Structure 1
Amino acid sequence: MFDRIIWISGMPRSGTNWLAQIMASNPMVRLKLCPLFSYEFKNAMDLDSSPAQWAEFFTKVYQTPSEYMDQDYLRRDGLAPLFLEREPNPSVLAIKSNRFHHLSRSILEKHPGVTFVGIVRHPCATIHSWLTNPLEFPADCHPRQQWRDGACRKTGPGEFWGFDDWKKVTAMFLDLAQRFPQRFLLVRYESIVFDAQGQIKQLFERLGLGWPAQTRRFLKESQSTHNPHKRAVHKNPAVATRWKTEMDPGMVKTILDELRGTPLECFLGRENQ
């Protein structure tokens, strides 16, 4: 049975899937994809859930086999790796979620065994990746009408899409990292892209996960090959900067102008500040 929990959190298209697979490459980790969006535990927890209910929820998530939570469908299509080196009963439960951000502080307050890893990607890259992804952005919607509030994707509780939500979630991450410095770890997607080995080794050390060979191999493989499928985790590092030449210049200007001079400016990169 597990003795601690790592909750990987970030906006959609911010690198949560890649970071989750990096985490899953560690033999002592069992990864589950967004349980509160799964068939088995759909919307099972909310702000009123008690510490005891959260503890029971995590135990059930760890024990429940699931096509969705275990990402079997992605592995069958070659979009997620199969890690053969695995402890029979991993001591760490990792949960990946880019939904239900409004529950983050409540979880931290009610369950001391949870450590969050919040990943933040440059806002232009995040929004561009969403708008150009046919699996995530509805074909009958117009990007210029949706890029800010993301209303076209908000079909249920826990949905966060668009630039306004990027600002809200990222500001919350900064606040939680300050309130819970040992239990809310903040990482930048771009930093991992351009120094994967160094950044992940440092993160794993902070999480007490060691530095296994399987993780080192996966990091190299995930960046040395490229799968164009939007759900694939093997990507050329160049995808991190595609927005600079492909995104609507008006959107870019608006985003950069709104963030300059604010606490969120630190996520723009030096050249955009």
Structure 2
Amino acid sequence: MSDLPVIGLHGAPRSGTTWIGQIFNSAPEVAFRFQPFFAHAFRPRVDAATSAADLDQILKDIAATDDDFILQRGGKVADKDLAFAKSAPSHLVYKEARYHHLLPTLMEIPRFQGVGIIRDPLEALSSWRAAPREFDPAWDFGAEWREAGLKNSGRIEEFFGYAGWKRAALIFQDMAARHPDRFRILRYGDLTADPVGVVSALFGFLGVGMSEQTATFLGRSTSRDDGDTYGVFRDLSRRAAPDLPDAVRQAVLEDVARCDLATYLA
């Protein structure tokens, strides 16, 4: 299993990576790993990695890990609705909301494929503001929305705030341009508009089979809301507009227009 093809699901925080990770987890032949680079079991090695060979060995060890956090065992992550029947694995898939700066090196690994998830920045910022574990209610959003200095704390692997969203989007665009056969950008808005169609096309690009189990999970996860800010069940018919100050909204709209990133607006 250590030499399986690897698919890395990368997206800035609050971009739907947890939901998308579970969509891939629903595929019977996928061995899924949750935020392994961020996990205590691997973070020191990931931070010290300097080459594709280093990261390739880490991916091999991630495939074999028995870490409860990465395997989502215990607590809410063991929700019965996220327990999927599995067959012999054909792909190792992980999801990360951090460490996107490693993608150029990861793409040097021949067995690695990547997906860059990009959500409307207004939605991502609004979601971040509403997530109490990610945005301290005592913080001043007007001072934090752009650089997220208090959350990122100068760490290169962190991508919170609008500047982090932009940095991730530009990395993803660069990877898609350099490696069109192995890296695909996934617009979150496209996924919510046509979950089955978009997932079928993405799975086909990556060589993952589209199963009835995945189709069933897509139906469940988009038709009911579990009320959990960090959950994966969202009634798409009840999506709310981003809740942001007018000044922040206008600043973001002006910047995405200047940087040719307006295509990611919902």
SS in 2 for 1:104: helix
With structure 1 as the length reference, what TM-score do the two structures score? 0.91
Is the 2:159–2:167 Cα contact (8 Å) retained in structure 1? no
SS in 2 for 1:187: strand
Counterpart in 1 of 2:167? Answer: 168
Deviations, residues 115-160 of structure 1 (Å, cap 9, x unaligned): 0011100000001100111121013211111001011112445111
Counterpart in 1 of 2:136? Answer: 138
Mapped pair 1:151 → 2:152: no
Q: Which amino acid aligns with 1:175?
A: D
Counterpart in 1 of 2:106? Answer: 107
Name whichever of 122-131 and 67-76 sits farther off.
Answer: 67-76
| Superposition deviation, residue 81 in structure 1 | 1.0
Is the 2:30–2:89 Cα contact (8 Å) retained in structure 1? yes
Work out the CA distance in 1 between the residues paired with 2:102 and 2:53.
16
Name whichever of 13-22 and 234-243 sits farther off.
Answer: 234-243
Is the 1:121–1:190 Cα contact (8 Å) retained in structure 2? yes
Counterpart in 2 of 1:250? Answer: 247
Q: 1:130 to 1:79 in 2, by over 3 A?
A: farther
Counterpart in 2 of 1:33? Answer: 34
| Superposition deviation, residue 261 in structure 1 | 4.3
Is the 2:52–2:105 Cα contact (8 Å) retained in structure 1? no
Work out the CA distance in 2 between the residues paired with 1:158 and 1:187.
21
SS in 2 for 1:37: coil
Work out the CA distance in 2 between the residues paired with 1:76 and 1:226.
16
Q: 1:261 to 1:142 in 2, by over 3 A?
A: closer
- RMSD between aligned alpha carbons? 1.8
Work out the CA distance in 2 between the residues paired with 1:158 and 1:75.
26
Please identify runs of 4+ aligned residues in structure 1 that moved more than 3 A. Answer: 73-80, 238-241
SS in 2 for 1:65: coil
Q: How many residues align?
A: 264
SS in 1 for 2:261: helix
Identify unmatched segments of 5+ residues in structure 2: none
Mapped pair 1:13 → 2:11: no
Identify unmatched segments of 5+ residues in structure 1: none
Work out the CA distance in 1 between the residues paired with 2:80 and 2:123.
21
Q: 1:137 to 1:265 in 2, by over 3 A?
A: same
Work out the CA distance in 2 between the residues paired with 1:82 and 1:122.
30
Q: 1:219 to 1:6 in 2, by over 3 A?
A: same
Counterpart in 2 of 1:63? Answer: 64
| Superposition deviation, residue 76 in structure 1 | 5.2
Q: 1:51 to 1:172 in 2, by over 3 A?
A: closer
Q: Which amino acid aligns with 1:35?
A: P
| Superposition deviation, residue 203 in structure 1 | 0.5
